[in-house]
Chain A
Amino acid sequence: MTDSTPAVLEMAGIRKVFPGVTALDGVDFRLFPGEVHALMGENGAGKSTLIKVLTGVYDIDGGDVRLAGSPVRFAGPLQAQQAGISTVYQEVNLCANLSVAENIFIGREPRTLGRIRWGEMRKRARALLARLDLDLDVTAPLTSYSLAIQQMIAIARAVDIDARVLILDEPTSSLDAGEVEQLFQVVRRLKDDGVAILFVSHFLDQVYAIADRMTVLRNGRLIGEWRTAELPRMQLVTAMIGKELATLEEIEEQPRAAAAALERGEPVVEARGLGRRGAIEPFQLAIHAGEVVGLAGLLGSGRTELARLLFGADHADEGTLAVGGRPVTIRSPHAAMAHGIAFSSENRRTEGLVADLTVRENIVLALQAARGWTRPLPRRIQDELVAKYVAALQIRPADPELPVRTLSGGNQQKVLLARWLITEPKLLIVDEPTRGIDVGAKAEIQRLVAELAGGGMAVLFVSAELEEVLRLSHKIEVLRDRRLVEELDNTGGLDADRIMRTIAEGTSQ
């Protein structure tokens, strides 16, 4: 674990380019035997890409990879596995209907003359599990064990393929606290055996509990490598989120009313103890007309889950939602829209736009859906509305009949916003509206949000970038580990450091 032992894995100057985006730009990464190394970064930082390079899924466009000192280049996942790099993914990739032993040895069963030696297989499975301190009935079907045990069986399978490097990609995302501890014991044992472990998780507590060292990526670039003991949480969060570039145009400092001034009268939408198991713990939240409420927190902290509950995209298990002071039941997005709530998803491509439809069709979709299929929006009115918003949001190219997939990310985002603006919502929820778009478009969208709130719309603004949350919001709700931990008034004294401290520590004290 000391720097004098040679690294088992060294990646230097890794570059990976996809059409239109540089996913990895000169990233260095090293892994020593007998250490747990956490790879940290927000969405789009390049973690997944780096792992896929390491496991042979992607070929690289630049840089080199050395395994135990000799350069390697994998043509596929199988080659990477044979070289001793094993991966355990977030979802258990095993066969639920087979036994534990079968799952461990599937595809490489001990055989004589083509016949499987069952006894030998069971014996070896037991021995392997014993190495991880697990005492299981290896003939029982996989499903007779908990998710955590299944995850450990997946690890047992991975390390038996003579793993020198073990990649754990969010192995804890579906485990509870006790199960996580069980898993960590197994990880520590492997570490003591000299396996180099790459650990990815969005839970800061877990990372600090298990990792010896951390590498932080942001926007495809290497931010740095630290020993966990030498990296306070505050500094880690800063490294992951970063400070916004000063190139962003400042929103004209329009006198932003204090939240208190806006919070007279009934809130537009109020959540009272609304929650959903496994997604977000019950929370209180009130959003008033003309108010921008920012949601801050790391990826996986429950930002999107909270927004989806308000929109009825997921069903709440508990609590109530009130619109304009009256309790309502919202069981579908359609119902939420009827109450004047709009939600622009963070995943433009998978949850937002219909790629093959035109810009016009995408813009009118929500309004048309609200009217129902029997009351088509006359083409003339469609064209007027679309032309108005294409001009107002400066959507380029300004041809409403182009398929939306041909537009750039920023323009696609504007199309998605236009879709919701023509429904004239009372509450607009925007989830990561500025992610993955260029700086100019970003500034335009921020200005638009400020203007909409100025015009009396309530806005829930979700973003991983603290600077823009701070710049736009009247008050900021901080989320951490699927819990709304604090509400901060954005008046004067609040700065990014204070929010980061809340994200990192759970309280602002």
Chain B
Amino acid sequence: MRTVVRHRLFWPAAVLVVLLLSNLISSPGFFSVTLQDGHLYGSVVDILRRAAPLILVAVGMTLVIATGGIDLSVGSVMAISGALACVRIADGAGWAVAVLAALALSLILGLWNGVLVSVIGIQPIIATLILMVAGRGIAQLITGGQIINVTDDAYRVIGAGYALAIPVSVLIAAAMVAVAVVLTRRTALGLLLQAVGGNPVASRLAGVHARRLTLLVYVFAGLCAGIAGLIYSSNVSSADSNAAGNLIELDAILAVVIGGTALTGGHFSLAGTTLGAVLIEALNVTTVTLGIPVETTLLFKAVVVVVLCLVQSATFRTLVLRRRKNAIGAPA
């Protein structure tokens, strides 16, 4: 099994290395990292810093996808979280109060998704589509339709600050990845999630509380998106209901898929997801340094998604095999 996982991560890792190396063509000093004023500077650090919100969102998404679900609302939750934090700060609340309020709301939004999916039984894509669409409206309601600018140095540290020479946002993302890894691999959560995603009927008959676990992963995904929203709004010192987390759900799903977690649920890889998120950000940076127009980035991403999904699809594989052998599949 270990060799298979290694194999799965081999290609994204190889693509990442090639992408990074290709930057050397137009920017020979791409890999140089310097220490200025006790802060690490350099393109590689920059990629990680920019990838931090995506890593967070994608980690939450990984667990949701492991149960066979999906969460389209993460971008909207980011916008709501950032909006609430900025409005509270603009109203004169302390940064800590604002952050806690935003995180609490994110948990509630995650709970909403979880209830729709696991208790009421709506298909995940539809259930989370509701908040994806309505969430932007909620964010605008919170900000009163304005872009809220804040000047709170403490709040700014979350997205733009440094600690121990490393960007705080990168530390937060790393911490959340670590939390997710410990939660899933040090407890039995990982096994039970994989069981639910792999065969929900069998899991229920084995006594797994499939509903409760499903609820839990949506709450966790909400929390991750909320933190990502704080990082985003803190970095730009403002809350923009439309720009925050715009289309990040698609990048997050892509990161999960690149990382070797199948959209059908079951086995998941948090390391793979993190790698996938960094790869996507590296791709964005690379297209800029190489001077490729932004439109090409989107096209290339689309091609990667299509190819990866096709290769993962059992139906597609049997279709190809059937074509080749002209044989008929196994009994129903």
Contacts and interface: CB of A to CB of B under 8 A. Distances in A.
Contacts of B328: 58-59
Contacts of A350: 199, 201-202
Nearest to A423: B207
Contacts of A59: 328
Contacts of B202: 345, 350-354
Nearest to A49: B331
Interface string B311-330: 00000000000000000101
B198 A333 contact: no
Given A49-B331, A351-B202, 7 more contacts: A333-B204, A334-B207, A369-B192, A369-B207, A373-B189, A374-B187, A401-B1
Interface string A367-387: 011111111110000000000
Contacts of A355: 198-199
A374 B205 CA distance: 20
Interface in A345-368: 345, 350-358, 361, 364-366, 368
Contacts of B186: 376
B128 interface: no
Contacts, number: 96
Nearest to A58: B328
B207 A366 contact: yes
A402 to B, nearest CB: 8
Interface in B161-211: 186-189, 191-192, 194-195, 198-199, 201-209
Interface string B195-233: 100110111111111000100000000000000000000
Contacts of B189: 373
Interface string A38-63: 00000000001100100000110000
Interface size class of A (residues with CB under 8 A): 35 or more
Interface in B51-75: none
A409 interface: no
A354 B331 contact: no
Interface of A: 18-19, 23, 48-49, 52, 58-59, 311, 313, 332-334, 336-337, 343, 345, 350-358, 361, 364-366, 368-377, 401, 403, 419
A18 B199 contact: no
B330 A18 contact: yes
B267 interface: yes
Interface residues of B, number: 27
A368 B192 contact: yes
A352 B205 contact: yes
A457 to B, nearest CB: 18
Nearest to B188: A376
Sorted from nearest, which 10 A-B pairs have the closest CB atoms? A369-B207, A376-B188, A354-B198, A369-B208, A334-B207, A366-B206, A354-B199, A373-B189, A337-B207, A373-B188
A355 B203 CA distance: 11
Contact of A368 (B1, B191, B204, B205): B191
A356 B194 contact: yes
Contacts of B330: 18-19
Interface string B87-105: 0000000000000000000
B266 interface: yes
Contacts of B194: 354, 356-357, 361
18 contacts: A19-B330, A313-B205, A334-B207, A334-B209, A343-B205, A345-B202, A350-B201, A350-B202, A351-B205, A354-B203, A357-B191, A358-B1, A365-B191, A365-B195, A366-B207, A371-B188, A373-B187, A376-B188
A357 B195 contact: yes
A365 B205 contact: no
Nearest to A44: B331
A345 B201 CA distance: 11
A369 to B, nearest CB: 4
A503 B186 CA distance: 52
B331 A351 contact: no
Given A18-B330, A18-B331, A369-B206, A361 B201 contact: no
Nearest to B198: A354
B198 A365 contact: no
Interface in B117-144: none
A377 B188 contact: yes
B191 A361 contact: yes
B1 A356 contact: no
